[in-house]
Structure formats: structure tokens, C-alpha cells
Amino acid sequence: MDNKDTLTLTREDILQKQFTKNIKGYDPAEVDDFLDVVIGDYGCFLKFQEESKRYTDTLELENAKLKEKMRKLELENSRLQARLKGIKETDKVTTENIDLLQKIAKYEKFLYSQGYDVRSIK
């Protein structure tokens, strides 16, 4: 029996197999040869089944990791959205912004008059 990775027989090959009859029944060598091929195919099928199981297990583990990562990202997204709710959703200039800019300008002018460089203040 050789070590192979492909199936030799089909379902129909097995179902429709006809053995040569002799005086004692079927030719034992012919039956033995056919069963060797069936055993080889069965070994190939078992190997495929084991590889498929390992591959499926690997995919399920990776899927579980990705689901956990997605859950964490969804939680982080919810937290960030909650933090952003308090921020104004407009970039329009408001009178409040203009008032604040005017106050900042006055403070800068005062600090310059006192000898401070406002660009050095952190």
C-alpha cells in the first residue's frame, strides 16, 4: 500500500465492482487487491478529515479572538462617543468665541506691556 493524498475510487467504483468468479468463489487476489485500494482511500480520507478538523479548530480560535477584539473596540467606541457628546457639533463662529478671542488679545497685550513673551508661555 502506497502513501497517497488523493482518492482512487469513487462511490460508484465500489458499488459496481464485479469480481471474477472461480471454482471456490471470487478470486482472492483480485478481492485483496481491491481491498488494498479501498484501505488506501480510507487512509487518505482520514488524513483529510484530521487536517480539516485542525483547520476548523484554528479558524474557530481565530474567530473567537476577532470577536473579543470587536467587542473591545465596540466598548471603546461607545466610551469615545459618550465623551464627544459634550463637544459642540458646529464650527460656526459665535459671539461667545469672538468675546473669548478679544479677551485673549487683551491679556496678550497686557503681558507684552509687562515684558513677557506670550509665545514662551506653555
State the Cα–Cα distance between residues 106 and 118, nearest whole angstrom.
12
pLDDT value of position 1: 45
Q: What is the pLDDT of residues 19-57, one digit of tens each?
A: 788 777 878 888 888 888 888 888 888 889 999 999 999
State the Cα–Cα distance between residues 119 and 122, nearest whole angstrom.
8
What is the pTM (predicted TM-score) of this model?
0.47
Q: What is the pLDDT of residues 64-81, one digit of tens each?
A: 999 999 999 999 999 888
